[in-house]
Amino acid sequence: MRTYDQETRSGSVFLDDGSVLTFGTQAFDAGPLRLLRSGQRVNIRLTGGEITAITLSTFPLPD
């Protein structure tokens, strides 16, 4: 996790290759999370190059 804005429920993540992707409210709301902190490891679902779901690495991605 790179950044997270609790008010908008959106943010950005670092990928393993060092690139950065942003995610919006819909991706955050697709999972069971209430908040995220910078530095947390997360799982993401990419659809067409866009993050469509995000959750902690210890949780499964939603269907």
Q: For 9-60, write each residue's pLDDT tens digit.
A: 999 999 999 999 999 999 999 988 889 998 999 999 999 999 999 999 999 8
Domain ranges of the chain: 3-56
- pLDDT at residue 14, rounded to an integer: 94
Please give the backbone phi and psi of residue 45, each rounded to the nearest 5 degrees, phi first: -110, 125
Distances in Å between the Cα of 52 and the Cα atoms of 7, 31 are 19, 10
Closest CA to 32 of 60, 7, 2: 60
Give the start-end residues of each E strand in the chain: 3-5, 10-14, 20-23, 42-47, 50-56
